[in-house]
Structure 1
Amino acid sequence: MGDFELDGILARDSEPVTVLGLCQLRLLKDSRWPWLMLVPQRGGMTEIFDLTPLDQALLTFETNMVGAALKKVTGATKINVGALGNIVRQLHVHVIARFEGDPNWPGPIWGFGQAAPYDESRKQDFLKKLIEAL
């Protein structure tokens, strides 16, 4: 864990929420979708299979826990989970709440339109509910 350093793009595009057992939980700076990201705090990881078997199990557990909490808090139609890494190689997992009729439903969110910043009070209310659900 000593050699972990968050990629600059991930740091720029998200803000910390909390630290789970393995991962930093981060909120993407785009209010169009409730969009979270898990970043395993292990240096040099680019693929899930790069993690030790125990860390793979922890990542699965934390992803499921965050997805369930996000669905509970938002009432989303679908929770999308993805670890793409085509632009940012550092291993990170997106967990996104999607709703019928949201921007670009049912298409992908990547590369669609411009990010919309959060209203601070709305963001804090969302994060409080999320932390309670976790």
Structure 2
Amino acid sequence: MHQFILDKKLQKDCIFIKDLELSQLLLMNDSNYPWLILAPRKNNLTEIIDLDQDDQIILLSEINYVSKILKKHLNVDKINIASLGNIVSQLHIHIIGRYFNDISYPKPIWGEVDSVEYNEIKISNFKEIFKN
């Protein structure tokens, strides 16, 4: 079995939170939004359909897990879920909590405002809510 290699841009832009059954859970280092990423730990995948059916089911379960925590602990108003690959082709899923009063709402988050990095306390808080 080959060691999983996370795309360099995701490595640069994200903070590792934890390993789930299939995916690495990452926090996009932009405190304007609670923006998490699931990166399945399988190399050379670009689309969800590249996963076998069992892994697709696990991925959906992980999306639900992250989404429920965003609702429960951060009380987000809306959850945006997307698999985009225009910049990073490696399979990864964006799970973004949105508030009706966030800096970009209702527009998309990409390219709207400059990102603001998380401080260590907020990073620790994210790791804590995803501890279990």
- TM-score band w.r.t. shorter chain: over 0.9
- State the AA in 2 paired with 1:110: W
Q: Is the 8 A contact 2:80 2:96 kept in 1?
A: yes
AA aligned to 1:96 is I
1:99 equivalent to 2:103? Answer no
Gaps of 5+ in 2: none
Aligned to 1:28: 28
Query: Normalized against structure 2, the TM-score is what?
Result: 0.94
1:3: how far off? Answer: 4.8
Query: Is the 8 Å Cα contact of residues 77 and 98 (structure 2) preserved in structure 1?
Result: yes
> Alpha-carbon deviation of 1:118?
1.1
CA distance in 2 between counterparts of 1:131 and 1:33 reads 20
Aligned equivalent of 1:61: 61
Q: Taking every aligned residue pair, what percent have the same amino acid on both sides? A: 42
Partners of 2:17 and 2:126 within 8 A in 1: no
Q: Provide the C-alpha distance between the structure 2 equivalents of 1:19 and 1:34, rounded to a whole number of angstroms.
A: 18
Change (3 A) 1:130 1:49: same
User: Displacement, 1:127?
Assistant: 2.5
Structure 1 runs, 4 residues or longer, greater than 6 Å off: none
